[in-house]
Amino acid sequence: MAGPVLIFDSGVGGLSVARSLRQYYPETAMCYACDNAWMPYGLRDDVTLSARIVAVCQAAVQACQPSVLVVACNTASTLALDSLRKALVIPVVGTVPAIKPAAAISQTRHIGLLATRATVGRPYTQKLIESFASDCIITRVAADALVLEAEALLGGISPNSERIQQALAPLWQTKDSQPPVDTVVLGCTHFPLLKPWLEALAPMPVNWIDSGDAIARRVGQIAPALKNGQDGRFFTTASAEALGKGFAQYGFCTPGRLELGA
């Protein structure tokens, strides 16, 4: 009997992946694990953070008995996928910036990468660019402030348009000899939650590309029997009081607390 899909993130960004999964597999049971006690991950050292990610995911797997784990966090994916696959007996699907699909559709060959500071600077991101977008100009923008805007949105606070405009501004500041950005990679799973604001505040129409659809397709490939299990539970490592209404909007209505071993 198949268990639910378990979605893991440091915060609420994985809800954008949950939305894609529900679009593809509306009858599939899902659980969510949010390590909000340690958010944001980008401020932690790699060794300590990798061990923490494995511990939280092990506790979440024990709590909801899933058939597959989706690591809906770029930082966690680049740090801990190998360790998670060694520690767990279920399949693990990671998240990477959608450089490849962005390069496939960009007409101007100028792509914006909107991500956290940790993702923008990682060697893994550079390898993706070299492999799939070597003929493109890539404007990398560290937009950590957007993570906080997305977290606030799920807590019932409207996003701050001025902060979003400031975060986006470097995307449009092209040199005279450069073509304009026509495609923007949302390289953090938090960012698609803000897409209506991003679209409204962009000075021109662009393609906004995230990893949600690719993750959903991959989950279907490796775990095709996804209709069973207890649906709608979400687990946190700190208080869930401010997040309850936001999670409920995405079908996660039953809170729980993850207890980690010493």
Nearest to 35 by CA among 90, 79, 82: 79
Query: Contact 181/171 with Cβ under 8 angstroms?
Result: yes
The residues, ordered by sequence, that sit 6+ positions from 205 with a Cβ below 8 Å of its Cβ are none
Active-site pick, 34, 64, 73, 253? 73
- Per the annotation, the verdict on 73 as an active-site residue is yes
Query: Contact 112/141 with Cβ under 8 angstroms?
Result: yes
Helix (H) or strand (E) holding 93: strand 92-93
Residues in the chain: 262
Distance CA 137, CA 242 (A): 40
Q: What is the DSSP string of 188-201?
A: STTGGGGHHHHHHH
Query: Contact 85/249 with Cβ under 8 angstroms?
Result: no
Query: Contact 54/21 with Cβ under 8 angstroms?
Result: no
Number of helical (H) and strand (E) elements in the chain, helices listed first:
11, 10
Helix (H) or strand (E) holding 70: strand 68-71
Distance between start and end Cα atoms, the chain: 32
Active-site pick, 34, 64, 188, 253? 188
Instruction: List the catalytic residues.
Output: 73, 188
